Amino acid sequence: MDKIKELIKTRKAKIGIVGMGYVGLPLAMEFSKSGFAVTGFEVDAQKVRDLNAGQSYIPDVPTAEMAAMVNKGLLSATLDFTGLKKQDAVIICVPTPLRKSKDPDVSYIVASVQETRKYLKRGQIIILESTTYPGTTKELVKPMLETGGLKAGRDFYLAFSPERVDPGNKKYGVKNTPKVVGGLTPACTELAGLLYGAVIDRVLEVSNTETAELVKLLENTFRAVNIGMMNEMALMCNKLGLDVWEVIGAAASKPFGFMPFFPGPGIGGHCIPLDPHYLGWKMKTLNFEPRFIELAGAINSSMPDHVVARLGEILNTRGKALSRSKILMIGMAYKPDIADPRESPARDVLILLEKTGAKADYYDPYVAETDLGEGEVRRSSKDALKKIKNYDCVMIVTPHSCIDYVKIAKTARLVFDTRNATKGLKGKNIFRL
Ligand SMILES: NC(=O)c1ccc[n+]([C@@H]2O[C@H](COP(=O)([O-])OP(=O)(O)OC[C@H]3O[C@@H](n4cnc5c(N)ncnc54)[C@H](O)[C@@H]3O)[C@@H](O)[C@H]2O)c1
């Protein structure tokens, strides 16, 4: 332990990061900016080429900063996993999607742990960062790593540390977002804490790996449930003839005991729609029905249907049928000001609109094309904003801040704003969720 501690303190520890995506690359940057030599182990050859050429493929990582680290020899990537044996710390940041049945798909964790196991050496620390159900590190990763004879907690160190990065967040990045760590043993926790403490402002140690795993799931379940409640509030306000945004805005004036969440056309991204299901799945194996998770999931996933139905009602006020209307959707990314369309509710809305027979275009300056499945691809209509009068309704789905909503409100025949991007604007043509 003393040897690896010394290596960390002197920044001579070699850091291997498995999976160089939205999570792995920013983390690699933070370690290399602090003087650690980082190697990214990837299965995507294009990412490896880009990284080694100093070309960033993640919007939050500036190319110039990344090129500087590559040029200094502190950052590189490889498809060849044999180099894992040279690493003092291995941090795993691979995807954890859901299967079609909404059960956890831990196959990427399994594949990367299989590689890690081949090159595991005495004194190494292995940390899992991928979001997953409580028990994964102890019940899945530990036995796999121990098949070679080395014992976790005795011969090598094992910990879980949830990744909390919020893509597009200008205020909080890897360095100033507190990092939670939980190890298999107190020594594993201490070492993981020391490692992250070398590059992250604040590290919070918790009792074990399961606690650290559940922390992440609590955070994202908290968001999913609260957004679900606000979505239901929007449905109730619609029935009551009230403006949900005004209600939430006024409630948020209370300086204690209230935290605003906002409704919308559904939830998206790689985390909020998926993570609660990891917890739900685990709890079902323990014969526990996770009711909040189920209810929030049902409400949130019904929102695309709701907004399309509302759009139909709004068009009816002008004597127009949705099936014969031309609709422009603004935004395809799952949240404003980012280029990530994963699990975006905008895609569901587009599919539903097309099903009704409506002619739907979308405009998103960050998402050039979107795959609707079965080979069907739609492209962002670059000139749509110039031809706004051609559309029966403009539906604001993802409110990127670079778009002029005042102009849209002034020129569009009808606006259906699902995100309150037109806050404060008045006009008989403006309808809000
Ligand atoms: N994106 C986020 O905002 C975010 C935030 C917090 C937590 N997370 C979690 O972090 C984990 C990673 O998410 P991400 O968004 O970085 O995913 P990502 O898809 O952007 O990146 C994962 C990378 O892992 C690579 N990969 C897949 N299998 C591999 C293997 N066997 N060996 C090496 N590399 C492999 C992929 O090619 C990809 O580049 C997930 O568990 C996710 O839930 C993501």
Q: In order of start, what are the domains of the chain with their CATH numbers? A: 2-210 (3.40.50.720), 221-432 (3.40.50.720)
| Protein residue closest via CA to atom 18 of ligand 1 | 21
Planar angle of CA 384, 390, 393, nearest 5 degrees: 85
pLDDT of residue 364: 98
Distance CA 339, CA 239 (A): 34
| Protein residue closest via CA to atom 44 of ligand 1 | 23
Residue 432 DSSP SS3 = strand
pLDDT band at 100 (very low <50, low <70, confident <90, very high): confident
Residue 220 DSSP SS3 = helix
| Helices and strands, number each (H, E), in the chain | 13, 15
**Tens-place pLDDT, residues 374-388:** 889 999 999 999 999
Distance 324 CA to ligand 1 centre (A): 41
pLDDT of residue 133: 98
Distance CA 355, CA 423 (A): 30
pLDDT of residue 279: 97
- How many other CB atoms are found less than 10 A from the CB of residue 64? 9
User: Which residues carry out catalysis?
Assistant: 271
| Long-range own/partner contacts, residues 112-115 (CB < 8 A, 24 or more apart) | 112/18, 112/19, 112/41, 113/140, 113/141, 113/144, 113/145, 114/144, 115/18, 115/41, 115/81, 115/84
**pTM here?**
0.93
pLDDT band at 415 (very low <50, low <70, confident <90, very high): very high
**Residue from 136, 131, 137 nearest 153 by CA:** 137
Q: Which residues contact 259 (CB under 8 A, 6 or more apart)?
A: 226
Q: Which residue has the tokens 């020594």?
A: 187
Distance 95 CA to ligand 1 centre (A): 4
pLDDT of residue 59: 87
Question: Counting beta carbons within 10 angstroms of the beta carbon of residue 402, is it exposed (0 to 12), middle (13 to 18) or buried (19 or more)?
Answer: exposed
Which tokens belong to 257?
A: 């005991």
Distance CA 406, CA 77 (A): 45
Q: What is the CA radius of gyration of the chain?
A: 24
**Tens-place pLDDT, residues 14-52:** 999 999 999 999 999 999 999 999 999 999 999 999 999
| Protein residue closest via CA to atom 36 of ligand 1 | 19
**Tens-place pLDDT, residues 156-178:** 999 999 999 888 899 999 999 99
Closest ligand 1 atom to residue 94 Cα is 24
Beta strand 14-18 with 393-396: parallel, antiparallel or unpaired?
A: unpaired
**Tens-place pLDDT, residues 80-95:** 999 999 999 999 999 9
Amino acid symbol at 341: P
User: Which letter, b or e, does each residue of 317-340 get, where b requires 16 or more Cβ atoms within 10 Å of its Cβ?
Assistant: eeebebeebebbbbbbbbbbbbbb
Ligand 1 lining (C-beta closer than 6 Å): 18-24, 41-44, 47, 93-96, 108, 111-112, 130-131, 163-165, 167, 270-271
